[in-house]
Amino acid sequence: MKILSVLLFSLIIMVGTVEVSSPDEFLNVNINVENGIATYSVKYDGQEMILPSRLGLKSDIGDFCQGLTLVDSVASEETSSYNMTGTKKFHSEFRANKLNLILENSEKKQIIVTFLVSNHDIAFRYTLGKENDNPTKAKIIGEVSSFRLPDGTTTFISPQAEPMSGWENTKPSYEEGYSSDAKMGDKSQFGHGYVFPALFHLGNHGWVLIGETGVTSGYVASHLSDFSSEKGSKIAFPMEGANNGMGDTFATIQVPGNTPWRTITIGKDLKPIVETTIPYDVVEPLYEPAFEYKPGRYTWSWLIWQDNSINYNDQVEFIDLAGRMGYEYCLVDAAWDANIGYDKMEELSKYAQTKGVRLMLWYNSNGNSNNAPQSPKNRLNTKEAREKEMKWMQSAGIAGIKVDFFGGDKQVTIQLYHDILIDANKYGLQVIFHGCTLPRGWEKIYPNFVASEAVLASENVYFNEGSAFRQPFDLTLHPFCRNSLASMDWGGVIMNRFLSRDNKSRHSRKTTDVFEMASGIIMQTSIQCVAMQPNNINELPEVEIDFLKGLPSTWEDTVFIDGYPGKYVVLARRHESKWYIAGLNAEKDSKELILKLPMLKKGTKLSYYTDKDDGYAILTELNVGESGEVKVNMKPNGGFILN
Ligand code: CA
């Protein structure tokens, strides 16, 4: 990591107005302080992308929402480069112009607003106190930070849930689903606004993706309020009723100290939206990985065999399946403590290791914050219980945990995520969260963090046919939004034709086999769930099994090729030196696309997986044409893969 600071870079100071531009000068942020109110606005290539929107926060050591004057501003340049596995890109170079605005309120108290502006991303945050101040703390009661999009903008957003709703009062857990191309003024479904990330389409002018990063135990996770044309959408703090009313809705920070970063990614087209690395560019790891954490794939019985499968013999079947597929992990879901027990789990873990597979175990996060009855309970919510449990896991050779049912964004809950991750690192455990909040830069901050659910996930495809019908819509939307800003445990490449153990009863899957195989490339997480079933080994054509055996889960690079959120998507991802180009089609008609793949030389021979009429994959070959052009076809609810 290398940081350069060059003072007074590309800075124009006028009375109460400061501008900071991206290194390529296309992206401009204008900050204005007038009548005591601080606002920022954003233009890209001269086009207004964010209208003047408020800056400021209210704390118990000062009101920094009004009565503000601009005291000073300091510009510098920030460059850094870093490597990380586990997200869309291995090596990132971050180059931004930085602006620190020093604002003073009517009591002569100061706050610093920091903007980082790279070619397609903006990050801003607030700092209270100066480096050599006596340490103290402050209660952040709320923020007026807002985002006003131009008229005519359409939205790709997901509502914040009613606290204590859903399965055994476990919500909110970012599982309400996204709508697409909706009017901006629409009132949110539950009156609590919208969760991050939120994607906005400004017609011909481009796209804006809004998120948050760097949220650790030092703050609440926030969301967006409902829109008003005057005020836009404001940063909203957690709802009082979350976690059964436990915990505060405000944040407590150390002073000197700062808030998380709010991020805005801007593109004339969708390329910067899909390829952004802003959640990781502006955060640092909190600790070193204490062990070498391996990416991989896992099998999972619960998706289709459900609760009854959490027994020794059924788990042996899924371990054997993982072993035959060459997968690294098998996830044993809820109630294993009751149905298998700790002693037999040690035996099961040993058995798995003889097959080259390591187990991951499900845990309930609670506590008394919800009523979710699944066990093991009360094992991860206190330090003492955690240490004991994790020590046992380490001795039993367990590789990781999936912790479920958090239900809230209050600081007390963020602290629990943080504590679980830190302790898990001591015992070599990788961590997946379910029933949870959006991770905010966590893949980099916590090196043993893998991915979170925080999405209307595969379990719903099992639960109801409506979700099976909307699966192609969801999976063609997430690369532009939810999965662009954080790894996502969607919970499985599904190969059963029917959502049942006998693969004949209940409702059918609505996607083709190639759609599912391609979804394993499109959906990004470093430990990918392949929710194939033991019966699939004998049912699927060899070409599909072979592909799934070799499915990578880490990517050196990700390039957006084509698509529109909720309609279709084509991404190119590179694993080691090999490119995987995958497409998903959620539309009713077949799609023929002529793709430009500049990363491939003319004449390169590629394996081409596409859908046959019977829904199975067919493997043919395809040669790359002039300037990297290829022609591919996708059936409705189908896909393709080139590699
Ligand atoms: Ca869930």
CA 269–ligand 1 middle distance (angstroms): 32
Q: Name residues with Cβ closer than 5 Å to ligand 1, which is an ion.
A: 435
Regarding whether 111 and 81 lie in a shared domain, the answer is yes
Residue 95 C-alpha to ligand 1 middle, in angstroms? 37
pLDDT at position 626: 87
460 CA → ligand 1 middle, Å: 8
Ligand 1 centroid to Cα of residue 517, in Å, is: 22
Residue 95 lies in a domain: yes
From the CA of 435, how far away is ligand 1's center (Å)?
5
How far does the centroid of ligand 1 lie from the alpha carbon of residue 199, in Å? 22
The token pair at 327 is 């997968």
List CB contacts of 466: < 8 A, sequence separation 6 or more: none
Distance 492 CA to ligand 1 centre (A): 13
> Looking at residue 314, what is its pLDDT?
98
Helices (H), 104-230: none
Domain shared by 89 and 54, yes or no: yes
569 found inside a domain: yes
Residues 88 and 153 grouped into a single domain: yes
User: For 73-126, how does the pLDDT look when each residue is reduced to its tens digit (9 = 90+)?
Assistant: 999 999 999 999 999 999 999 999 999 999 999 999 999 999 999 999 999 999
| Residue 376 in domain | yes
Q: How does residue 7 score in pLDDT terms, banded at 50, 70 and 90?
A: very low
Task: Note whether 477 and 559 are same-domain residues.
Answer: yes
Local confidence band at 229 (pLDDT 50, 70, 90 cut-offs): confident
pLDDT at 376 over 60: yes
Q: What are the structure tokens assigned to 90, written together?
A: 């291995």
CB 336 within 8 A of CB 300: no
Considering only 2-6, 33-37, 93-97, 400-404, which range has the smallest mean pLDDT? 2-6
Query: In terms of Cα–Cα distance, which of 418, 294, 314, 415 is closest to 356?
Result: 294
CA angle 549/553/555 to nearest 5° reads 130
Specify the pLDDT at position 15: 53
Distance 367 CA to ligand 1 centre (A): 18
Instruction: State the average pLDDT over residues 319-347.
Output: 98
473 lies in the same domain as 606: yes
Q: Does 338 lie in the same domain as 241? A: no
Report pLDDT for 638.
98
Contact in structure between 640 and 610 (CB atoms under 8 Å): yes
Among 223, 249, 281, which residue terminates a domain? 281
CB 41 within 8 A of CB 52: yes
> Which of these, 283, 365, 358, lies nearest to 318 by C-alpha position?
358
Residue 9 has pLDDT above 90, yes or no: no
Q: Which two tokens stand for residue 276?
A: 């952004």
pLDDT per position as a tens digit, 577-598: 999 999 999 999 999 999 999 9
The parent domain of residue 504 ranges over 456-487+499-514+555-643
Residue 604 sits in a domain whose CATH number is 2.60.40.1180
Note whether 100 and 57 are within 8 A (CB): no
The type of residue at 556 is E
Distance 452 CA to ligand 1 centre (A): 10
Average pLDDT of the chain is 95
Shared domain for 400 and 276, answered yes or no, is no
Distance 365 CA to ligand 1 centre (A): 13
| Type of residue at 367 | G
Give the Å distance between the CA of 149 and the centre of ligand 1. Answer: 31
3-class SS at 287?
coil
How far apart are alpha carbons 426 and 418 in whole angstroms? 13
- CATH number of 371's domain: 3.20.20.70
pLDDT digits (tens, 9 = 90+) for 250-285: 999 999 999 999 999 999 999 999 999 999 999 999
Q: If you measure from the C-alpha of residue 175 to the centroid of ligand 1, how many angstroms do you get, rounded to a whole number?
A: 7
pLDDT at 62 exceeding the cut of 80: yes
- Mean pLDDT over residues 543-551, rounded? 98
238/252 same-domain check: yes
Distance 463 CA to ligand 1 centre (A): 11
> Do 442 and 476 have their domain in common?
no
Structural tokens at position 295: 């990416």
Q: What is the pLDDT of residues 427-480, one digit of tens each?
A: 999 999 999 999 999 999 999 999 999 999 999 999 999 999 999 999 999 999
Domain boundary among 281, 305, 328: 281
Residues 239, 315 within the same domain? no
Please state whether beta strands 639-642 and 629-634 pair in parallel, antiparallel, or not at all (unpaired). Answer: unpaired
Q: How far is the CA of 459 from the centre of ligand 1 (A)?
A: 7
Query: Do 342 and 461 sit in the same domain of this protein?
Result: no
Q: What pLDDT does 384 receive?
A: 97
SS3 call for 416: helix
Q: How far apart are CA 321 and CA 305, in angstroms?
A: 14
Q: What are φ and ψ of residue 486, in 5° steps?
A: -165, 150
Same domain, 436 and 464: no
Task: Count CB-CB contacts under 10 A for residue 5.
Answer: 11
Q: Which of 281, 307, 342 is the last residue of a domain?
A: 281
Share of the chain above pLDDT 70, in %: 98
How many C-alpha atoms does 441 have within 13 Å on its Cβ side? 24
User: Looking at residue 30, what DSSP letter applies?
Assistant: E
Q: How far apart are CA 403 and CA 199, in angstroms?
A: 28
Separation of 293 CA from ligand 1 center, angstroms? 25
What percent of the chain stands above pLDDT 90?
A: 92
pLDDT of residue 484: 98
Distance 461 CA to ligand 1 centre (A): 12
Amino acid 519: pLDDT: 98
Q: Which of 613, 616, 566, 573 is nearest to 590 (CA)?
A: 613
Report the number of distinct structural domains present in the chain: 3
Q: Which helix (H) or strand (E) holds 94?
A: strand 91-104
**pLDDT tens by residue, 128-157:** 998 888 889 999 999 999 999 999 999 999
Cα–Cα dist 305/148, whole Å: 46
Taking the centre of ligand 1 as the mean of its atom positions, its distance from the CA of residue 457, in whole angstroms, is 7
User: CA–CA separation, 571 vs 207, rounded Å?
Assistant: 18
Question: Is residue 133 in a domain?
Answer: yes
Model confidence at 12, pLDDT cuts 50, 70, 90, reads: very low
